[in-house]
């Protein structure tokens, strides 16, 4: 048995697939780097190339005319293993920062990059090109559309302390909503010794928040002792 597989048409096809996967990973990596994300060109090129290679290996083992080794079982399970493994890698890109979650888009790009690598390895060039173009357009164009038409706020916690427990809770709620905050939860505590009331509002803050105006209005509603915000 030859140590090297010298089927030149097959080698040429594999080389083209690997080059295309490099281009695919590079394009997606540039988009991430342009936004100063940790997942960049090197990572996505490695994911794309390795997925393509494993896809080629999967088809190679399934073709008796190419592979001289008798492989038992279903060789296409290699591609299924890639899908399972890439989920673990994508999960590492997701980070929790307080009430906010970051890295979902990077995780989705890792998944897409791996899928493109597998598709290129399977010879689905046109389909891969369509998905690559659609992905880049979605990342570049849809984000601007979302920011314009569906502005997303950030989850925060408002910590408000009043000196007197006899405050109008309904008025406080109206003031917070009036300033563009969406209230999702409220936690109230009362200190008997100091007669202070502690209000902890879980809110979704507007993109253009004006905390100075909010503090001024809250101060008019009661004797405001402390105001702070955490993510």
Q: What is the pLDDT of residues 194-219, one digit of tens each?
A: 788 899 988 888 876 678 888 888 88
3-state helix, strand, coil in the chain (%, to 5): 55, 20, 25
Cβ–Cβ < 8 Å for 181, 203: yes
For 217, other C-beta atoms within 10 Å of its C-beta total 17
Identify the band that residue 25 occupies on the pLDDT scale cut at 50, 70 and 90. Answer: very high
- Which residue would you say has higher pLDDT here, 73 or 67? 67
Q: Among 13, 119, 10, which residue's Cα sits nearest to residue 65?
A: 10
- Which residue would you say has higher pLDDT here, 7 or 130? 130
Report the C-alpha gap between 98 and 229 in whole angstroms.
12
**Structural domains of the chain sorted by starting position, each given as residue range(s) with its CATH number in brackets:** 8-149 (no CATH), 154-230 (3.30.70.260)
């Amino acid at each position: 048995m030859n140590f090297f597989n010298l089927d030149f048409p097959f080698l040429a096809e594999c080389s083209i697939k690997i080059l295309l996967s490099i281009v695919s990973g590079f394009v997606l990596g540039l988009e991430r780097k342009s936004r100063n994300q940790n997942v960049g060109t090197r990572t996505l090129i490695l994911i794309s190339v390795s997925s393509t290679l494993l896809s080629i290996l999967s088809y190679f083992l399934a073709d008796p005319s190419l592979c001289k080794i008798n492989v038992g079982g279903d060789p296409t399970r290699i591609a299924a293993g890639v899908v399972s493994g890439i989920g673990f890698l994508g999960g590492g890109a997701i980070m929790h920062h307080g009430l906010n979650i970051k890295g979902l888009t990077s995780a989705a790009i890792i998944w897409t990059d791996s899928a493109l690598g597998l598709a290129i390895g399977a010879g689905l060039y046109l389909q891969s090109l369509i998905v690559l173009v659609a992905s880049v357009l979605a990342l570049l164009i849809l984000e601007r559309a979302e920011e314009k038409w569906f502005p997303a706020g950030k989850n925060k916690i408002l910590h408000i302390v009043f000196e007197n427990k006899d405050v109008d809770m309904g008025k406080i709620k109206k003031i917070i909503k009036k300033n563009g905050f969406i209230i999702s939860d409220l936690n109230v505590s009362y200190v008997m010794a100091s007669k202070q009331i502690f209000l902890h509002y879980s809110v979704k803050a507007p993109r253009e928040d004006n905390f100075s105006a909010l503090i001024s209005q809250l101060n008019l509603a009661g004797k405001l002792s402390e105001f702070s915000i955490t993510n």
